[in-house]
């Protein structure tokens, strides 16, 4: 089902938002459907859930209204599904999740890194047959990564492993998250 919607508030605002998400999607238990990645959707999808009577709206944008020719509504900032949605709780093998497992800390010199500084290092170099897996990739700072190159040493402070979803979610909560609406913070504790 596609809804034709026109923003009455600010055209430019919508252009900026085009590629971002606007509404936090909670499961019927009031927890995000997924933390990794965070279940957040675009305003049009949120309104579709409302329209189909699949959700309860918990928070609205006070200053953002959209309308069609026949109706208008504020945009929801947080919605909760009426029925439980099954969520995939297998952590995806991704750069961000490896940084998270290692708490953005270089696994050689233990310096804390920003997302922009963090790099991925193969413990056993690819040139030596090292695989790109949870068990062979660690977070490293640029200098450690460069110094190590294709050599065998040094060893990381902790050998890498495959984390489970709950470990990553609890680590995720240690870091500030960029929220689209302040009310999201209430549901991301
Ligand atoms: Zn380092």
How many A from CA of 105 to the centre of ligand 1?
8
Give per-10-residue mean pLDDT for the chain (189 aa): 37 42 94 89 94 96 91 95 88 93 97 95 94 97 92 90 94 86 90
Report the alpha-carbon distance of residue 24 to residue 163 in Å, rounded: 25
Number of H helices, E strands in the chain: 6, 7
Residue 148 pLDDT? 87
What ranges make up the beta strands (E) of the chain? 6-7, 23-26, 40-41, 55-67, 72-81, 119-122, 137-140
Structure tokens at 61: 């944008």
Question: How far is ligand 1, taken at its centre, from the CA of residue 72, in Å?
Answer: 54
pLDDT recorded at residue 88: 77
For 67-82, the pLDDT digits (tens) are 888 889 999 999 999 9
pLDDT of residue 19: 52
Tell me the CA–centroid distance for residue 137 and ligand 1, in Å: 14
Give the pTM: 0.75
Nearest Cα to Cα of residue 36 among 106, 121, 94 = 94
Q: Give the pLDDT confidence score for residue 179 in this predicted structure.
A: 87
CA of 6 to the centre of ligand 1 (A): 50
* Ligand 1 centroid from CA 112, angstroms: 9
Task: Report CA(145)–ligand 1 centroid distance (Å).
Answer: 7
Ramachandran angles phi, psi of 57, nearest 5°: -90, 125
The rounded Å distance from CA 99 to ligand 1 centre is 13
């Amino acid at each position: 089902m596609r809804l034709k919607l026109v923003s009455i508030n600010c055209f430019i605002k919508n252009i900026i938002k085009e590629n971002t998400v606007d509404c936090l999607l909670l499961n019927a238990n009031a927890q995000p459907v997924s933390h990794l990645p965070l279940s957040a959707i675009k305003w049009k999808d949120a309104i579709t859930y409302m329209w189909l009577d699949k959700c309860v709206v918990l928070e609205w944008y006070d200053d953002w209204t959209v309308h069609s020719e026949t109706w208008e509504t504020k945009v929801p900032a947080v919605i909760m599904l009426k029925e439980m949605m099954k969520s995939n709780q297998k952590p995806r093998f991704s750069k961000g999740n490896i940084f998270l497992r290692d708490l953005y800390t270089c696994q050689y010199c233990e310096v804390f890194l920003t997302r922009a500084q963090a790099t991925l290092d193969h413990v056993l170099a690819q040139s030596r047959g090292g695989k790109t897996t949870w068990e062979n990739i660690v977070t490293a700072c640029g200098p450690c990564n460069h110094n190590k190159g294709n050599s065998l040493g040094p060893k990381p402070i902790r050998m890498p492993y495959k984390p489970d979803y709950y470990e990553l979610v609890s680590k995720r909560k240690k870091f500030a998250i960029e929220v689209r609406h302040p009310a999201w913070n209430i549901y991301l504790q």
